[in-house]
Amino acid sequence: MLNLCFTAFAEESTPVQDVVEQVGDIIETAGDKAGSFITGLPMLTTRLLMAALAIFIGCIMIRIGRRMIGSIVKMRGQKGLQTAAQVNTVRSLVTSIFNYIMYFIIVTVALSIFGVNVSSILAVAGVGGVAIGFGAQTLIKDIISGMFIWMEGSISVGDVVNINDLSGTVESIAIRTTVVRDYNGNLYVIPNGDIRTLTNMSRGYKRAIVDIRCPYEADQARIVEILKEEMEKAKAEVPGLLETPEVMSILSFETDAVVVRIAAQCPVGENWRIERELRTRVKARFDAEGIVMPHYQKPAV
């Protein structure tokens, strides 16, 4: 009777034994993997240290390379009598290309340290190059546009430009982007492929334009003579003027004023300062002559 009960109990506990055996197998497998990890830990640590060392050396080489590029470009610029803007442009572009090449080399070395077959990766990349090219059309367009900008010399570092309705000073020209900082200090990173309309305000000279609103009641011929006299004085007293500002007589008629324009040729970047000084002189001269410039008066309530 006891033997029958024990046999029945053994038959009923078979699922429990299966679970115990599975848990034992899992523990044994986990132990084997942990042992393999601990055994290979020194090798992993060595590879991590070697990869970190390779990255560290690569960063040092990038810094040294940037300085060498700057020195070489500066020396060649002095020999070739290039302007500072052209030297900075070449330095910015060559540095950008050098950075991309060095980053690629560092990643390749780090992968090879961990046993990754870089040649096979490059082969796969070559096979999939066409597919990647379709997805990277924008990147390729930016790079090609950057090369044309550099070769044509349409803009240089330090130029005051207007690109796609964004105005500012060019701070750097890279292989893919052009960086422009506006007067307020805002920094714009513009992809070279997106540059459609470009206005360079730093080539040759610039004109300071000042529009003067004059009253209809005043003698316009007298106003023009007064402005001409004042501009003769300004040529001798205002630094930066390349010639006597031209008084272009009446430019247009407005509802409450006659507009007279003054145009002054000046160095690039000096036009805003000269415009402010000319306005100040005109206002002071009008006050001295008793000429009241048209202005809006808020009606009394």
Ordered by start, the domain boundaries in the chain are 23-127, 143-202, 206-289
Does the pLDDT of residue 123 top 70, yes or no? no
Tell me yes or no: is domain 206-289 CATH 3.40.50.170. Answer: no
% helix, strand, coil for the chain, step of 5:
60, 15, 25
User: Tens digits of per-residue pLDDT, 184-221?
Assistant: 888 898 888 888 878 887 776 778 889 989 888 888 88
100-129 mean pLDDT = 72
Indicate yes or no: pTM above 0.95: no
On the 0-12 / 13-18 / 19+ scale of CB atoms within 10 A, 50 is: middle
Closest CA to 268 of 133, 119, 158, 194: 158
Q: Which fold has domain 23-127?
A: Helix Hairpins (1.10.287)
Q: Which residue has the higher pLDDT, 183 or 123?
A: 183
Query: What pLDDT, on a 0 to 100 scale, did the predictor assign at position 2?
Result: 44
Q: Which residue has the higher pLDDT, 240 or 12?
A: 240
138-156 mean pLDDT = 75
Query: What pLDDT, on a 0 to 100 scale, did the predictor assign at position 63?
Result: 87
pLDDT band at 151 (very low <50, low <70, confident <90, very high): confident
159-177 mean pLDDT = 84
User: Mean pLDDT for the chain?
Assistant: 76
244-249 mean pLDDT = 86
CATH class entry, domain 143-202: mainly beta
Contact 74, 92 (CB under 8 A): no
Does the pLDDT of residue 144 top 70, yes or no? yes
Does the pLDDT of residue 103 top 70, yes or no? yes
Torsion angle, CA of 261/264/270/273, rounded to 10 degrees? -40
Q: Which residue has the higher pLDDT, 278 or 249?
A: 278
Contact 181, 149 (CB under 8 A): no
User: Tens digits of per-residue pLDDT, 77-89?
Assistant: 655 545 566 677 6
Query: What pLDDT, on a 0 to 100 scale, did the predictor assign at position 31?
Result: 54
Q: Which residue has the higher pLDDT, 219 or 138?
A: 219
pLDDT band at 175 (very low <50, low <70, confident <90, very high): confident
| Residue 241 φ then ψ, to 5° | -75, 130
